[in-house]
Structure 1
Amino acid sequence: MSSHRASATPPIFYGWFIVASAFAVTFMGFGSAYTFSAFVDSLQREFGASRGSVSLVFSLAGFLYFGLGVVSGPLADRWGSRRLAVIGMLFTGLGLAVASVARNLTEVYAAYGLGVGLGVGCAYVPAVGAVQRWFVKRRGFASGLAVSGIGVGTPVMPPLAALLIEMMGWRMTYLVLGGLTAVVGVGMALLIENDPRDRGLAPDGEPLQANAQATRPLGFSVGEAIRSPRFIGLYMACLICGLGVFVPFVHLVPYALDHGVPQTSAVLLLGAIGVGSTAGRFFLGGLADRMGRQQSVLLMFVGMAVALAIWAVSTGFWPLALFAFVFGIFYGGWVAVLPAVVMDYFGGRNVSGIIGVLYTSVAFGTLIGPSAAGFAFDISHSYTLPILVSVAANIVAAGIMAVMSKVSVGVAKGSAVP
């Protein structure tokens, strides 16, 4: 039986189709979500709202799409990732479409915040979690490719949204983005499969041993994982980092406009984050496989802190573009390596559920950070304090990872991680 399966194995390992599907889900989901910065000015003028109250729309969505992983992750482990990803892409498209007919900012909160937040929250963790089970040797690289959809979506979708807003207005733009997300996102999500054993394969495309079909993936239960020192440290690092890491996605374009950068150039700064992020996911994900993934996460936090310090002293387009690109590299590396670190620590049995719990840390940071930065600007008419707080948050997160690397070695040795 096993020899027949080995001979029937297709030349392209199906795990790479899982990667492609996760790429498309993250491209459409996060790419559409990160267009929000292009809509800030239009929403302020349409509803006569402050920058802080408009920023809260993105914070609500971000809180949900990271926080909902605590539900969607375990459901994916039980029901399969494909079903959750399809539902998520439908919700995302519907939320964008309904936002196009909002009559006030409260309805934008409900449509965009809840629709996009619930949609990406349903799809993201299941899609990324599925990738982890298909790879061992190249897990960091595969994870990086999967989430590089976020990085590619960031330079593509916001400029596209800005162009469409200029051509047809913000309402029709939301409708177009909603339809595109539903069609492409759902179509690609249908490719997802939860486990290579269902195709008679082991991770990395190796032939499945004859007695391995019924063997469950090894690893921690969700409860065991979240009580471990490694998880607690990783959770605290991501929570503190999350307070600052999403501030640029909402406020970099308004910041640039405030300093005289033209609208068309300001939107390109988000694209620079995306280009850097894509590079970080491709190259830092693979580099982490060789130098150690835990140590790499520490370096990502340090890199983001350095980049944010560049933002604090930048006012012109080119210094801001430098910040955006450097920040994107380390942000992209962090997003790429984090799921692989979870798999390394806790095994594959409940990886989606554990990733989902971990991402609630980022959810709280996303809820607080961008909106607090907006309200701080409304009071002081300056972004200096929010940027410096973001720098400090990443330095503290790096310190937590440094401590973890010294005190948690015994946990890894005693774990059931395969």
Structure 2
Amino acid sequence: MSTEKTGFDAHSLEDEPPGRKPLFYGWFVVAAAFAVTFVGFGAAYSFSAFVDALQQEFSASRGAVSLVFSLAGFLYFSLGVVTGPLADRFGTRPMAIAGMVFVSAGLVLAGFADNLLHVYLAYGLGVGLGVGCSYVPSVGTVQRWFARRRGFASGLAVSGIGFGTLLMPILAALLIGTVGWRTAYISLGILSALVGITMALLFVNDPRSKGLAPDGGPALPTAASGASEGTELRVAVRSRPFLTLYFAGLIASFGLFVPFVHLVPFATDQGMSAGQGAFLLGMVGVGSTVGRFLLGNVADRIGRQLALILAFAGMAITLLIWLVSDTLVPLAIFGLTFGTFYGGFVALMPALVMDYFGGRHISSIIGVLYTSVALGTLVGPTAAGYAYDLTQNYTLAIIGSIAANLVAAGAIMTLRKPGT
């Protein structure tokens, strides 16, 4: 168990005037997770703004360029199987700091790439390793700090992904248009280092190290502490709930990240500007942020299983809008609504893991679970790119994405409630 210290100590506020309750340190942990996911996934999802520039610079096909994102996505979701247990043992803070260093270095080095292989190595490995080191430990730690408001706290923490998706692609498009794609990558790398590393210092692995229980009460005896209880990894991964969640994550992720790579080039194919394409991806970010709050709160009331079913079904329905749209307004509606349900999915998966398996090994379990998303991410966006190269449209990719989300929703419907 980590015994991390930080200069931001909630107990240092004990000299506040009588009756004024100190701010629960769990919210500082949420803020750290927000910043880390903002930087990591903002860097990842800004890739869509670079697709056309990389195609032109290296005379590459869309499928070959899409593989850059798929490689990064495969790494950052698959590495959780290693970084989750490391965070459970050594603490989240060192993992998150290392992750932010990798992300920043990968972006900067991508700006010096001489060929597409160099982009694979710099961006694909750098961002992939960086998010892989930081994401699962960050979201796992948030689960330990909350019980009653876990859905809301988890949604707030990972809403950094939504804000990153909103702001980073737009910033990237502006930089590409003014200083070129190389300087844009270098600038984003420097920004990522300043924000990500600084905020990662706030992580504390367990509320008990500050004499607290989840949600801010006094620390409970070890036997009564939710953070100290939980299913062992080897038992969890053989259970029906885990296998069902794994299957749903695998199937859904074949289509889940297709818009994040291909919505901007799709827009430019329709005659829109790169800035308008980045705006559409930004709408996914806006919706994603709303969804993490909205479905996170709704899930605390109707149950996280039902809310996850709604998230998968909602993504399938909204993809129909993309299928029949070729102008800015309906595509913006697609981005906003798809993002809302996607945001719910991201917030609900780790919260469901906590519901079923407890907190003691949560980072390890989430890490193994997210290898399912890694496999789907490796295949889905790249396959969509090569399908486009063959057909010159995205119809097949969108229909496949719809089917994948519907199958995932059906799988979650078979889950029993935790404890039954």
Give your verdict on TM over 0.5: yes
Q: Which amino acid aligns with 1:344?
A: D
Q: Which amino acid aligns with 2:367?
A: G
- Measured in 2, the distance between the counterparts of 1:16 and 1:214 equals 19
- Measured in 1, the distance between the counterparts of 2:412 and 2:133 equals 28
- Measured in 2, the distance between the counterparts of 1:400 and 1:189 equals 36
Q: 1:150 aligns with which of 158, 161, 174?
A: 161
1:44-98 CA-to-partner distances (Å, cap 9, x unmatched) read 0100000000000000000001111111001000110111000000010001111
1:15 aligns to 2:26 (yes or no): yes
Cα gap change, 1:211/1:314 in structure 2, threshold over 3 Å: closer, same or farther?
A: closer
- Match of residue 360 from structure 2: 349
1:56-205 aligned within 5 A: 56-205=67-216
Q: 2:317 aligns with which of 296, 306, 310?
A: 306
Q: Which amino acid aligns with 1:288?
A: A
- Measured in 2, the distance between the counterparts of 1:219 and 1:63 equals 28
Cα gap change, 1:213/1:83 in structure 2, threshold over 3 Å: closer, same or farther?
A: farther
- Match of residue 413 from structure 1: 419
Any idea what SS the aligned residue of 2:228 has? coil
- Measured in 1, the distance between the counterparts of 2:12 and 2:225 equals 18
- Measured in 1, the distance between the counterparts of 2:96 and 2:392 equals 40
1:250-399 aligned within 5 A: 250-399=261-410
- Measured in 2, the distance between the counterparts of 1:313 and 1:353 equals 41
Structure 1 contact 277–325 (Cα < 8 Å) conserved: yes
- Measured in 2, the distance between the counterparts of 1:350 and 1:195 equals 12
The CA RMSD measured in Å over matched residues stands at: 1.7
Cα gap change, 1:215/1:352 in structure 2, threshold over 3 Å: closer, same or farther?
A: closer
Cα gap change, 1:150/1:216 in structure 2, threshold over 3 Å: closer, same or farther?
A: closer
Offset of 1:210 from its aligned partner? 6.2
- Measured in 1, the distance between the counterparts of 2:131 and 2:13 equals 38
Q: Which runs of 4+ in 1 moved over 6 A?
A: 210-216
- Measured in 1, the distance between the counterparts of 2:13 and 2:218 equals 9
What are the ranges of 5 or more consecutive residues in structure 2 without an aligned counterpart? 1-10, 16-20
Offset of 1:262 from its aligned partner? 2.2
Cα gap change, 1:232/1:212 in structure 2, threshold over 3 Å: closer, same or farther?
A: closer
1:145-181 CA-to-partner distances (Å, cap 9, x unmatched) read 0000000111111010110111111111111111111
Structure 2 contact 314–341 (Cα < 8 Å) conserved: yes
Offset of 1:265 from its aligned partner? 1.2
- Measured in 2, the distance between the counterparts of 1:263 and 1:69 equals 33
- Measured in 2, the distance between the counterparts of 1:291 and 1:336 equals 15
1:122-153 CA-to-partner distances (Å, cap 9, x unmatched) read 00000111000000000000000000000011
1:342-389 CA-to-partner distances (Å, cap 9, x unmatched) read 000100010000001111111111100000000000011010000000
Cα gap change, 1:7/1:180 in structure 2, threshold over 3 Å: closer, same or farther?
A: closer
Q: Which amino acid aligns with 1:37?
A: S
Offset of 1:261 from its aligned partner? 1.8
Q: Which amino acid aligns with 1:180?
A: L
Aligned length: 405
Offset of 1:213 from its aligned partner? 10
- Measured in 2, the distance between the counterparts of 1:134 and 1:49 equals 46
Structure 2 contact 213–225 (Cα < 8 Å) conserved: no
1:246 aligns to 2:257 (yes or no): yes
Offset of 1:8 from its aligned partner? 4.4
1:219-277 CA-to-partner distances (Å, cap 9, x unmatched) read 10111110000000010001000000100000001111111222221110000000000
Structure 1 contact 50–378 (Cα < 8 Å) conserved: yes
What are the ranges of 5 or more consecutive residues in structure 1 without an aligned counterpart? none
- Measured in 1, the distance between the counterparts of 2:393 and 2:88 equals 45
1:297-350 CA-to-partner distances (Å, cap 9, x unmatched) read 111000000011111111111111111100000000110111111000100010
TM-score (norm: length of structure 2)? 0.94
